[in-house]
Amino acid sequence: MNINATGTVHVPAPALEDWVTAVFAHCGVPEAHARQTACVLVRTNLRGIDTHGVMRVLPYVEKLRSGEVNPKARPQAELREGVLHVDGDRGLGQVVASFAVERAVELAQTQAVVTSVIRNSGHLAALGLFVLPAAEAGMIAVLCQETPPLMALEGSTGAAIGNNPIAFAAPVAGKAPMVFDMATSIVARGNVLQAARDKVPIPEGWSIGLDGLPTTDPTVALQGAMLPVAGHKGIGLAMLVQILAGSLSASSSGASFGSKGPAGNSSAGNVSAFLLVVNPDRVVGRAAFDAHVAQWLGIYTAASGEAARYPGERASLCETGRRRDGIPLGLGAIAELRKVGELVGLGFDLAPAPCP
């Protein structure tokens, strides 16, 4: 593999997807589920979210090999009391969440609002990649997930609550869907993991150490806690997610708070989430919905200047460019994927994309 002077190589998306599919298949994941997981992870990179794409293959492989995640999972869905209950059977999160969204979108064809509780899933990575297909199908979707305690206010002596991410997506007539995806911490923890791999400091204000004081050392930060976005407001959002994605999941399964640990301390095969899918056509009518979105987006872009973008628009442009030019992988990503190849006996040496 030829690496250019900037330390990156551009890999064609189809080749990368094929390789990742083969990796998961080597771990005992059925072909269809291996392909689905690879598709979600590679599309994450295509949309410019490199911390949550193929960089997650190594920890997923390790969890599959340890038995923490079930390679042969068969997600199930049951409608009870008007709520779609999805049990992921400890499967890969990309398989489980995709399954839940597909079932919810199907139900939303005949009812205005579908609420779903997802439990026993593997790590979901970038939530926006699950609500995006719902918006592409004409739906509004909201997805939030509890995480183990990772976040706390400055001065805390340990992680107090998850940096519970939230994502939503909505269709925009004639344009790319709107997609917004955020952790309730200032940045996603994946950015700190990336800094630790690259052996570079993190900006001030991202994290605290075990002493409760801010740190720029990613290793110290990983032992401490992420800081919430907007202080106490970020904690409030995290608590909202904890109620929807954690407490409702515990109630539906009969699990007690104590059995999951403080603040819903989910393991890699026991992630829970909350999903809401709304069909605007059945609520207000497609034409009225599209016209209203166009009106307020027009006001937003006019006031924000020529460079204004709504959430998801820049990622869509990035996806178009990377599908054409290839996905850039840095030295750290290449080293990690080569380690994956060594673990499963499948070398990582893809031909680079042609120069644009």
Backbone phi, then psi, for 236, in 5-degree steps?
A: -60, -45
| The pLDDT value given to residue 46 | 98
Q: Enumerate long-range contacts of 287-296, CB under 8 Å, 24 or more apart.
A: 290/171, 290/173, 293/170, 293/171, 293/172, 293/173, 294/172, 294/173
Q: Is the dihedral of CA 116, 137, 268, 75 positive or negative?
A: positive
| The pLDDT value given to residue 269 | 67
Q: Token pair 């069909």 is at which residue?
A: 279
DSSP symbols for 102-144 = HHHHHHTTTSSEEEEEEEEE-----THHHHHHHHHTT-EEEEE
| The pLDDT value given to residue 2 | 56
Q: What is the DSSP letter of 258?
A: G
DSSP symbols for 232-256 = HHHHHHHHHHIIIIIIHHHHHHT--
| The pLDDT value given to residue 3 | 60
- Under DSSP, is residue 80 helix (H, G, I), strand (E, B) or coil? strand
Q: How many CB atoms lie within 10 A of CB 230?
A: 11
State both tokens at 265: 């301390």
What lies within 8 Å, CB to CB, of 135 at 6+ separation is 141, 169, 170, 171, 177, 178, 179
Domains and CATH numbers, the chain: 72-185+228-326 (3.30.1370.60)
Q: Token pair 């708070």 is at which residue?
A: 257
Q: Distance of CA 230 to CAs 59, 267, 294, 349, Å? A: 30, 27, 29, 43
Query: Tens of pLDDT along the chain (356 residues)?
Result: 556 556 789 999 999 999 999 999 999 999 999 999 999 999 999 999 999 999 999 999 999 999 999 999 999 999 999 999 999 999 999 999 999 999 999 999 999 999 999 999 999 999 999 999 999 999 999 999 999 999 999 999 899 999 999 999 999 999 999 999 999 999 988 889 889 988 999 999 999 999 999 999 999 999 999 999 999 999 999 999 999 999 998 744 433 333 343 333 344 668 999 999 999 999 999 999 999 999 999 999 999 998 999 999 999 999 999 999 999 999 889 999 999 999 999 999 888 877 65
